[in-house]
Every structure is written in structure tokens, then in C-alpha cells.
Structure 1
Amino acid sequence: MAGAVKQLKGIAQAVASLEVCIVALAVAGSIASIELLPVAVGVAGVFWIVRWVAYGYASRRTALDLPILFLVLLLPVTLLVTALPQKTFPQVLRLLSGIGLYYSLVNWVNSELRFRLASIAMVLVGIGLCIFAPFSVEWEIAKVPFLPASLYERFDPIVVDTVNPNVMAGSLAILMPFAFGLSLSNWQGRGKWQTVLGGFGLVLMAGVLLLTQSRGAWLASGLALLVVITLRWRWGWVLMLFMAILAGGILYSMGTFTVLEALSRSTTLGGLAGRMEVWSRALYMIRDFPITGIGMGSFEEVADLLYPFFLFEPGKIEHAHNLFLQVAVDLGVPGLAAWVICLVMATICAWRIYQPRSNRTEWLTGVAAGLVGSQVALAVHGVIDAVTWGIVRPAPLVWALWGLAVAGIRLRQDKPSDSGRLSSKPMSNMSQGGVPG
């Protein structure tokens, strides 16, 4: 009997060693096809049992456990209150798939080597999105004057379910700072190719981001890259100060309204007036459904029925075009609070990886700076759009970045090697994934 148990445990450990690969593939499949969402959630759920058999625990404790638990407890509520369960259920599954990917990362990344591999994979995801973009994005023309319409004639989507350029821009905006951080990580010896990979990914993502013409994503990624530079260069604050003065000069010379109008303008919303009307409808929903929200994914139908627009025809506005308002609309103010706590805790984890200077390796410093920048991009872009949550297929990418930040916290106090190279030695369980004091 003892031999059978030992054999079962060995099999479970072997399967657990492949966890993040299997779960990531399942989640990627659910991004490509919505029909695979139940499969992705099921695969992620099975690994909780696998970990329990293999290691005696279902999951490591993490800094995000309580707010994530609260979000999960709100999901039956959103299914009960929604008037459109056929739209809400896929959004619930997408959120669960993201959470499943998060826990797969924080449990699988138990060594410096695995952290490096996961970091490289994250950049490869961004590169993959860029390669896929010309054949999948429904490109918009003539939003900005310096990008000629003839440029977009070269791109012909070959997929039936095309991607909105703002969705692509939102995903790239949060991945670009991470690639930039990796490119500045100063990998030693044979690891230098990873610096090159980060730089290549950064340039490629920046090029595709430019083509999306998403000014909100441009602003978010630009600020995030400034943050990374400030963290990685001792005189970076000078550049930050210069850019702040430049921005102030632009606001003064052009006027605040003109700048906001330029940032707000889109083919969907028109300008600032359209965006303000959409936000007002979201605020009405939050006022009327503060505890439960209206049900994930039902913004369009509820707005058209209860809070009709003056500037838009019915069926045109699918979401709140503000990440924070959208979360509150979907899950109520309690859900927004839980999600914001996740964002704040992930940012703290990324910052604590970066600190203190005496207990880190150079490669980890670069990755940590990139993780901090990604959270900045997520928050800034979230003020203008909501393409990293809910109805958007790549939404689990946010949870992947959070998983890396929380997993990396266990590396913070590990003694760096003289060469700066990574070890495959398992990390200690000193904080079990939490935020160390």
C-alpha cells in the first residue's frame, strides 16, 4: 500500500512539473476559441488536486488569496442577478481561467530557473501577438495623420473573428514594459541572448502598438517605460522631470480640453463628449446596483434598455471604456474593491522584488522593474479603456503578470551568485508567496 501511494505521489509530481505548460496551453486555446473556456477552467482546477497529491497542499499561500477568494465568491452572485446568463457565463469562466493561470504560475515557479523561463515565455507571448496581429486585427484607417492609409492595405485579416485594434493595443501596452525590463536585465555570459530577446520584443511590440493608433495605449506604455527607465537608471528621474515639464507645457499651450479631446477621440466614441456619456451610464449602473453589479458582460443590453444613450445608436457600446468602472458595473463596488486590492498587492510584490538593492541579482532587478511598469500601464490605460477585463479574450494576461510578480517575491532574499547567473535550485518557502516584511 505504501509503495502504491509513493508511486502515485511520484506520478503526481511529474505531472505537476508540467503544470504551467499545460494550463497555459489550455488558456491560450480558450483565447482562440470561446468554446474551450470550460476546458481551461477544468484543467486549471484539476491541478489543485494534483498539487495536493504531489506535495500535500493544494496551493501555496499568496498575498492575493483573500481578494481572489472574494472575487470567486461573487461569481455565483453575478450569475444570479444577470438578465443575460448566456453572456455572463463565458465572462465568469474567463475570470476563473485567469485565476487558474495565476495559481499555476505561483505554484510552478519554485526556482530561479523557472522564474527565468516564465519571464521569457511572457515576452514570447507578446512577440506571438505581434506576429498574429497583421492577419487578425481589423485595422482602422486615418485616426492619426502620420500613418498613411496605404500602409494598412498591406494587411488583410484571414480570420473570421477579427481582433479590435484597441484590444491588441491594451495587451501590448502591459507586455511592453516587461519586455523592456528584460532587455535591461544585464544577463551574463550565455544569458545575453535573453537581453536581445527582450529588446527585440520591445521593438516589435512598439511597432504594432503604433499601428493600432490607440492613443490611450501609447500614453500608458510611454509612462510605464518612463517608470522602468527611472528604476533602472540613476538619472532616470531627470528624464521623468523633463517629460513632466514637457507635458505641462503642452497642456498650457494647447489647453486641457484640446489634449483630453485628442486622447479620447476614437471611431467608436467620437470624442470626449461621447466618452463622458458612456462613463455616466456606468456610474448610473453602479449607483443603482452597487452591491451586486448588473452581471458580467451585460453592459450593452442594460445600458440600451435602462440608460439609453443620446449620442450612440443601440448596440454600439459594449462596455464602459474604463477598466475600474467596468469591474464595478460587472461585480459591484465590493468586486471593484477586491480587484483593486489584487492590483495594489501585485504592484507591491513587484516593488519588493526590486528592493532592497543589497539582496538581488541584476537580472531580477530588470524583470522587477518591468513588472512594476506593467502595473503602471494597466492602471493608466484602465482609465481610458477596459480591454483587459471581462468580454476581452486576452484578459488572463493580467493574471499571468500578477502571478509572476507574486512568484518572484520568493526570490527577493535569495543570495545572488557572483556571476549573476540563475540557479535551478528550488527557492525557499520563507514567505509561501506572500509579501515579506
Structure 2
Amino acid sequence: MTSRSHHRSHKKTIWTRLAWFEPFWLLFMAPSILLPGRFWEAWLQPYLVMALFLFWPIRRLAYRQVSVATPLNGWIAMLAAWLPITLWISILPEQSWVAVGYLGLGIAAFFALINWPTARQRPYLLAWLLLAIGFGLSLLGPALMDISAGSRMFRIPQLDARLGLLSAALGEAVNPNVFAGALVLISPFGAALALEPRWTRQWIWPLGAGLLSLFALLSLVITQSRGAYVAVIIGLLVLVVLRWRRLVWALPFVIIGVGVFAYRLGPAAILDQLSSDTSLAGLSGRMEIWTRAGWAIQDFSLTGVGHGLFNPVVSTLYPFFVLPTDIPHAHNLLLQVGVDMGLVGVTAYLGLILTVFYIVGKTLRRAAQHRQQAEDRAQAERHVLTWTLAAGVTAAMTSMLVHGLVDAVTWGTKLTFIPWLFYTLAALLYLGPRRRIRKRRRSRAERGIDDSEMNALMIADVHEVPMVETAE
């Protein structure tokens, strides 16, 4: 009996150690998913997408469950379950598999990280990963951008000469709006860590986060995306109100001032300018796109037209009168999800977003209460960090939704995985770090489990007994 228990615990330790490498497996697979056809033949794309989930059975063997439970799991499962339908309906499966790969990478990253013991115990590591991604985009993005077409607010010859220098050499170009869609998430998030520095005793970390946020903001200006400008301003306003609650009383005056300003300039003129960017000029162009997207959702309400097929389907079935035929997406986040996946996909995605706001709201309230009840400075700093990260996620999600009113660059693009990292951080903060020590009827000596094996079991299972900051 003792040898059998010893054998089972040894097998569990092996699977647990193997499951720990899942995030690194996704990191290895990411280039093949984000650059389809660059490293492998195009016909291998479906197999590469399915390989993202290779560690799921390993995780089941290691933790005795596929995933820890979170409030987001149901909506994500609904979204993932509908993907085969969008592939079945697709008239261009090769193109749909590319778009599904972008979404699949985000889903796989979510479940890999919320089940990763290191991320569960240290969610701030994910925060620094997001800031590192933002720094990389801010550094390399302008050299990969092509803003030669469309409406532009300003021209700086010295700057224009440096834009897109790497795109020809690498064979990859970043649309400025896609670039802006990522930065509207990163910039408010970094600002949150800078505006509330009490989460650490070392001033260098808030300063570094603030500088990274400022760098992202400067890079955002280069994109000349008006919608992104408005989105990041609103996200920062939300962050400031969360940080200094008394400023909420100033919001009515701000709203009145903005209303008077808009009335004097003319609402139509303002909307027309805000709807312009480097790929599409004016509100009228977007209205034409939104109308076609609505028709597509009406005609394909259950299934959608197929993942990633807005351009070939919409431009063929609902031709544009004024715009060119190479419009890549619906220029509205929810409309784009509806065109791709029908009303089922919109319901799942909207439920996911609303649940993210719900859990970060609960995390904010819980962290604020625990900070007041902290017994020592270290404990208070931990609760302040939780609050700060949750506030950053709230501001980032707000910016994404505002930008999503006039663009859809966080869905079906190479940077689709970035919002999923924010969903992951929201879930990690809500769950809190946990470890499991199961109550056993027999002692470890009776079961033949030594101290090293017991430690392995404790590290392996981080799913049940709360330590701090757990959900109510």
C-alpha cells in the first residue's frame, strides 16, 4: 500500500513539473501563430493552433482538473465552443484559421497563466510583462508603421522619414490603428502603477512604470489615431477618479464644459474629426461600414460570416458605394465580433467584458478594505499593489471599449492576445494567491509520503485554500 501511494505521488510530481512549462510552450508557439506562413507551410496552421492546447491534458493529470474555476470560464467556453461553427461556415478556411489562431493564442494564454503557480503567487509579474510588451511596441512600432494613406493631423518630415524603416526589411508592416489599439491598453495601465506609488518602498519602480507609460503615450501620438487619443484620455480620467475619489464631484463640470465646447464647434464636425485616422477619413466612411456590418449580422445572425472574413464577404455581398473594397474589419469592436461569430459570439464576448469589470470592481473594494485592516506595512503594500493593478485593468479596459466604438483592432489581429493578458490579470487578482493542503485521514508517515513529496504536492496545487486577497 505504501509503495503504491509513493508511486502515485511520484507520477503526480512528474506531471506537475511538466505542466509548469506550459507558458513557455506558448511563448515558443507564438511566432508561428502570429506570423503564419513565415516558418511553416500554410496548410499546417490548423495543427499549430491545436498545438496551443497540448498541455491541457497534462494539466488535468497534474492538478486533477483542467483549470481552476474563475467567473470568466463560462463565457470563454461559450466563445471557444462556437469557433468550430465559424470555421465550418467559412468560405476561406485558410484565412479563418489564421484569425482563429490569434484568438486561440489569447485563450490558451489565459488558462495557462491562471493555472501557473508562479503567476498565482506573483500576479505582478504579469503586470511587468504587459509593460515590457508595451515598451517593445513603443520602441519598434514606429519603425514598422505605414501611415502613408488616409487622413493625418500633422506632418513632421524628419519623423516621417524614419517611420516604416524596418517594414521592408522584415516584410511586416503594422497598421497604425492596430498599434494604437495596443497602446491605449498599456499607457493607462502603466500610469496606474505610477500614480499610486505606495505599493513599494522603492521609488524606482513607480518611476519606471511612469516612464514606460509616457513612452507609450508618445508613441501613441505618432499613430495619429484620433479615436485612440480620446480613448486614452478617458481611460486616464477613470484612473484619476479611482485614485482620488473626491474628484468625482468635478465630473459634472467637466461634462458640461465638454458639452459647451462640442456645441460651439458643432457635434457633426467633432465626430467627423474623431472618426478620422490614417486609414479612413470621416464619420461618413465609418457609417457606411457599420451599415454593411449590420446587414451581415442580420443575414448571418446565428453563425456569422466566418472568422476573419469581413473583407471578402462584406465587400462582395454588400458593396461599398464610396469606400475602397479593401476594408479589413467593421471599425467597431462589437460589430466585428458579430460579423465573425454571430449573436452567440457577441453575447459571449460582451458577457466576458462585463464580467471582467465586475471582478475588478470587487477586487478594488476588497483590496481597499483589507488595506485599512492591514496589521503591518508589508501587508498594506500587498493590498495597495492589488488595488493598483485592478485600477490599471479598469482604466485599460475602459480605454479599449472607447476605442472599440470606432475601431476593432483588438479582435482578429496579431495583437489580439494583449487584451487576454488583461483578462488574465483581472482573474488572478480576483482569485488571489492560494495553496492547497488537503486534510488527510492518515498521517504522511502512514501513507509513506516524505517531506520533499509533501512540498511538491503543496506547490503543485494552488487551487483551494486561500492565503490572502481571495474572492468573497
TM more than 0.5: yes
Distance apart, 1:138 and its partner CA: 1.4
Q: Which runs of 5+ in 2 are unaligned?
A: 40-44, 372-382, 436-458
Distance apart, 1:8 and its partner CA: 3.1
Bigger CA radius of gyration: 2
Instruction: List per-residue Cα deviations over 1:79-122 (Å, max 9, x = no partner).
Output: 11111112112112221221111111211256665211111111
Are residue 153 (structure 1) and residue 174 (structure 2) matched?
A: no
Distance in 1, matches of 2:188 and 2:200, equals 24
Distance in 2, matches of 1:183 and 1:40, equals 39
Given the superposition, is the C-alpha separation of residues 89 and 366 from structure 1 closer, same or farther in structure 2, using an over 3 Å criterion?
same
Instruction: List per-residue Cα deviations over 1:173-194 (Å, max 9, x = no partner).
Output: 1122211112234255565433
Distance in 2, matches of 1:354 and 1:276, equals 38
Report the counterpart of residue 380 of structure 1 in structure 2: 402
Distance apart, 1:343 and its partner CA: 0.5
Distance in 2, matches of 1:230 and 1:281, equals 38
Given the superposition, is the C-alpha separation of residues 136 and 63 from structure 1 closer, same or farther in structure 2, using an over 3 Å criterion?
same
3-state secondary structure, aligned to 1:355:
helix
Distance in 2, matches of 1:33 and 1:305, equals 25
In 2, are the aligned partners of 1:79 and 1:88 still within 8 Å (CA)?
yes
Instruction: List per-residue Cα deviations over 1:300-325 (Å, max 9, x = no partner).
Output: 111222101100233x2111111100
Are residue 429 (structure 1) and residue 464 (structure 2) matched?
A: yes
Distance apart, 1:284 and its partner CA: 0.5
Report the counterpart of residue 386 of structure 2 in structure 1: 364
Distance in 1, matches of 2:292 and 2:300, equals 12
Mean CA deviation greater in 20-29 or 357-366: 20-29
**2:12 partner letter:** K
Report the counterpart of residue 356 of structure 2 in structure 1: 346
Aligned match of 1:317 in 290, 305, 327? 327
Report matched runs for 1:46-195 at 5 Å. 46-108=54-116, 113-140=121-148, 143-158=151-166, 159-187=170-198, 191-195=202-206
In 1, are the aligned partners of 2:150 and 2:278 still within 8 Å (CA)?
no
Distance in 1, matches of 2:105 and 2:62, equals 22
Given the superposition, is the C-alpha separation of residues 109 and 378 from structure 1 closer, same or farther in structure 2, using an over 3 Å criterion?
farther
Distance in 1, matches of 2:288 and 2:392, equals 35
Mean CA deviation greater in 13-22 or 289-298: 13-22
Given the superposition, is the C-alpha separation of residues 9 and 77 from structure 1 closer, same or farther in structure 2, using an over 3 Å criterion?
same
3-state secondary structure, aligned to 1:308:
coil
Instruction: List per-residue Cα deviations over 1:120-169 (Å, max 9, x = no partner).
Output: 11111111111111321113479444552332213342221100000000
3-state secondary structure, aligned to 1:139:
coil
Paired-residue identity, %: 31
Distance apart, 1:242 and its partner CA: 4.3
Given the superposition, is the C-alpha separation of residues 199 and 113 from structure 1 closer, same or farther in structure 2, using an over 3 Å criterion?
farther
Report the counterpart of residue 289 of structure 1 in structure 2: 300
Distance in 2, matches of 1:240 and 1:99, equals 37
Given the superposition, is the C-alpha separation of residues 188 and 216 from structure 1 closer, same or farther in structure 2, using an over 3 Å criterion?
closer
Distance apart, 1:20 and its partner CA: 2.7
Given the superposition, is the C-alpha separation of residues 34 and 193 from structure 1 closer, same or farther in structure 2, using an over 3 Å criterion?
farther
Aligned match of 2:29 in 3, 10, 26? 26
The two structures have a TM-score, normalised by structure 2, of 0.83
**2:384 partner letter:** E
In 2, are the aligned partners of 1:142 and 1:149 still within 8 Å (CA)?
no
Report the counterpart of residue 8 of structure 1 in structure 2: 11
Distance apart, 1:250 and its partner CA: 1.8
**1:81 partner letter:** I
Distance in 2, matches of 1:33 and 1:82, equals 18
**2:75 partner letter:** P
Given the superposition, is the C-alpha separation of residues 354 and 208 from structure 1 closer, same or farther in structure 2, using an over 3 Å criterion?
same
**2:297 partner letter:** I
In 2, are the aligned partners of 1:286 and 1:293 still within 8 Å (CA)?
yes
Distance apart, 1:6 and its partner CA: 3.1
Instruction: List per-residue Cα deviations over 1:194-252 (Å, max 9, x = no partner).
Output: 31221121011001000000111111111011101110113332454443233212211
Report matched runs for 1:400-419 at 5 Å. 400-411=421-432
Given the superposition, is the C-alpha separation of residues 379 and 132 from structure 1 closer, same or farther in structure 2, using an over 3 Å criterion?
same
Number of residue pairs aligned between Structure 1 and Structure 2: 425
Report the counterpart of residue 396 of structure 1 in structure 2: 417
In 2, are the aligned partners of 1:12 and 1:53 still within 8 Å (CA)?
yes
Given the superposition, is the C-alpha separation of residues 251 and 301 from structure 1 closer, same or farther in structure 2, using an over 3 Å criterion?
same
Distance in 2, matches of 1:225 and 1:24, equals 31
3-state secondary structure, aligned to 1:181:
helix
Instruction: List per-residue Cα deviations over 1:343-368 (Å, max 9, x = no partner).
Output: 11111111111113212411111111
Mean CA deviation greater in 35-44 or 284-293: 35-44
In 2, are the aligned partners of 1:179 and 1:202 still within 8 Å (CA)?
yes
3-state secondary structure, aligned to 2:165:
coil
**2:127 partner letter:** S
Are residue 224 (structure 1) and residue 235 (structure 2) matched?
A: yes
Report the counterpart of residue 420 of structure 1 in structure 2: none
Instruction: List per-residue Cα deviations over 1:60-81 (Å, max 9, x = no partner).
Output: 1111122211112211111111
Distance in 2, matches of 1:206 and 1:376, equals 16
